[in-house]
Amino acid sequence: MPISNRIMQTDLSIFVQARMSSTRLPGKVLKWVQDKPILFHQLERIKQSKWQFNLVVITSDQPEDDVLTEICELEGYTVFRGSLTDLLDRHYQAAKHFNAKHIVKIPSDCPLIDPAVIDRVIGYYIKNQAQFDYVSNLHPQSYPDGNDVEVMSFCALETAWKEAKKPLEREHTTPYFWENLDQFRIGNVLWETGLNYEMSHRFTLDYPEDLTFIEAVYNRLYPLNPHFNLRDILDLLTFEPSILRINRSLAGVNWYRNHLAELKTITPEQTKQVL
């Protein structure tokens, strides 16, 4: 599978899944915001994390993603290509290729992700490797949507890759962990503020309204400080609620809720909560 030449050797790999064929907003990852494609903004934010890691854009092996591969490689980013629809296989094959012992999954629809959130989730996982196979801030989600970080061991990923059968488990990579608590020790990192903006704040990129919202945030904050953080965004939305309203009608809309009927019922109490 094609990759670029820039490969850092480390046990920790961050995989950013990206593709051009998004059904709701095709080509969203290369939409131009401020001075560059929006995907590059996200990758630069991820690189601000304090941890040492191998950063890889994992895309599909389909022709429509040739342009994404070319642009990322021209910018110096490592690219791995795999299955278009089986994201579990794409992550697993990338992990094998890079000999990653620990995998961080971050989707490319999080262009406002805060590096401090990445640090916190990775940090808890690293500190407690003996206790957890998988740690995230998603089950249940506590941070504003669009700060998604999942960390797992290669052994756990390999188990899921071998055993997951449901289409949603293959397409979305990690539901098999949530569904099989008898096999995996999973932890969930809660926002240290105790706040929960899940149903009122939406920082993810999936619909045209999301792009308009993200553009507005970048236009206000990026010229002042390219490294603006989550607190800066929340302050902006407090002072300019008109920006918050741009995509507020979509708050709480995500793939997970669309598939709840296919999943077993898992209560928050069944996962280890971390404050």
Which domains occur in the chain, in start order? 12-274 (3.90.550.10)
C-beta separation of 151 from 103 below 8 A? yes
Let me know: does 161 contact 220? Beta carbons within 8 Å.
no
- Per-residue pLDDT reduced to its tens digit, 16-53: 999 999 888 999 999 999 989 999 999 999 999 999 99
Whole-number pLDDT of residue 256 = 54
List residues bridging with 13 in a β-sheet: 54, 103
What pLDDT, on a 0 to 100 scale, did the predictor assign at position 22? 87
Over 90: is that where the pLDDT of 78 sits?
yes
Query: How far is it, in rounded angstroms, from Cα 182 to Cα 23?
Result: 35
Sign of CA dihedral 121, 119, 12, 106: positive
pLDDT for residue 6: 38
In the chain, where does DSSP find H-type helix?
38-47, 66-74, 87-97, 115-127, 154-163, 167-171, 175-179, 208-221, 230-239, 241-244, 255-258
The predicted pLDDT at position 8 comes to 40
Compute the mean pLDDT over every residue in the chain, rounded to the nearest whole number: 89
